[in-house]
């Protein structure tokens, strides 16, 4: 038996494994409260971990509750599928947002020009609702530098925040690979085995 008989199958498996075992989408739950105004909902990412870009955010949806005894309390539903929903650089700029398998973080002290703005814009001066996170170097987005803000139909509130903070968490993490990924991995191992048998002839 050749000592190198497993080298090529191992190379094939090493090349194919990152594709086969790529991360599945992760749904993070959001429940933010600022002086009675709340944003409750979900952020779905493509499963990438570490520093995220706008392309890693697949979708988002929140119910914004505005607490206003004078103008009236009001609920507004906003989502990435709405007309006027922020995408791309309007949604996320910089490198302040990062992900683990269980949590999403926003670094309010980030040294990059960073913000994360989940917003549905209905036109000049008319926002249906927004949940916004801003780093220390961004003075003119949402409520200004180092802030988290919730804007609803009848009110808008913000708070100063520092440090790298959890903004959303997975409520029931799943580590089970998708069936299609398992099938692809099985096929890849079959090809590697067949190649090894041929190599040994």
Domain identity same for 130 and 60: yes
Please state, in angstroms and rounded to a whole number, the distance separating the CA atoms of residues 66 and 51: 31
Domain identity same for 89 and 47: yes
Give the dihedral sign, CA 83/84/89/90: negative
Tens digits of residue pLDDT in 46-72: 999 999 999 999 999 999 998 887 777
Domain identity same for 17 and 108: no
Token readout for 133 is 């996170």
Percentage of the chain beyond pLDDT 90 is 58
Token readout for 193 is 């085995």
Domain identity same for 168 and 182: no
Beta partners for residue 60, in sequence order: 43
Domain identity same for 52 and 63: yes
| pTM metric for this prediction | 0.74
Question: Which residues, other chains included, contact 81 with Cβ-Cβ below 8 Å and sequence gap of 6+?
Answer: 59, 61
H helix and E strand count, the chain: 3, 13
User: Which residue reads 């993490």 in tokens?
Assistant: 173
Domain identity same for 5 and 65: no
Question: 3-class SS at 37?
Answer: strand
Domain identity same for 86 and 114: yes
**Distance of alpha carbon 64 from its chain centroid, rounded?**
19
Domain identity same for 105 and 127: yes
Structural domains of the chain, count: 2
Domain identity same for 129 and 151: yes
Average pLDDT over residues 1-26: 56
- Out of 123-127, 140-144, 176-180, least confident range: 176-180
Domain identity same for 102 and 156: yes
Tens digits of residue pLDDT in 100-128: 999 999 999 999 999 999 999 988 778 88
User: Which residue reads 């009675």 in tokens?
Assistant: 36
Question: Mean pLDDT in the chain?
Answer: 82
Domain identity same for 31 and 55: yes
Domain identity same for 35 and 112: yes
Of residues 20, 12, 28, the one with CA closest to residue 171: 28
Domain span at 200: 1-21+177-201
């Amino acid at each position: 038996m050749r000592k190198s008989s497993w080298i090529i199958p191992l190379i094939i498996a090493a090349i194919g494994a990152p594709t086969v075992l790529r991360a599945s989408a992760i749904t993070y739950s959001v429940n933010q409260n600022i002086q009675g105004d709340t944003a409750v909902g979900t952020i779905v990412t493509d499963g990438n971990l570490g520093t995220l870009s706008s392309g890693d955010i697949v979708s988002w949806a929140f119910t914004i509750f505005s607490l206003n005894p004078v103008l009236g309390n009001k609920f507004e539903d906003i989502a990435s599928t709405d007309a006027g929903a922020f995408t791309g650089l309007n949604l996320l700029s910089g490198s302040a947002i990062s992900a683990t398998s269980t949590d999403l973080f926003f670094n309010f002290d980030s040294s990059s020009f960073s913000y994360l703005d989940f917003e549905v814009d209905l036109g000049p001066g008319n926002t249906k609702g927004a949940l916004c996170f801003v780093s220390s170097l961004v003075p003119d987005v949402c409520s200004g530098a180092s802030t988290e803000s919730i804007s609803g139909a009848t009110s808008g509130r913000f708070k100063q925040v520092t440090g790298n903070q959890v903004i959303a968490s997975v409520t029931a993490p799943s580590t089970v690979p998708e069936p299609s990924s398992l099938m692809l991995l099985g096929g890849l191992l079959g090809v590697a085995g067949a190649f090894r048998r041929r190599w040994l002839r």
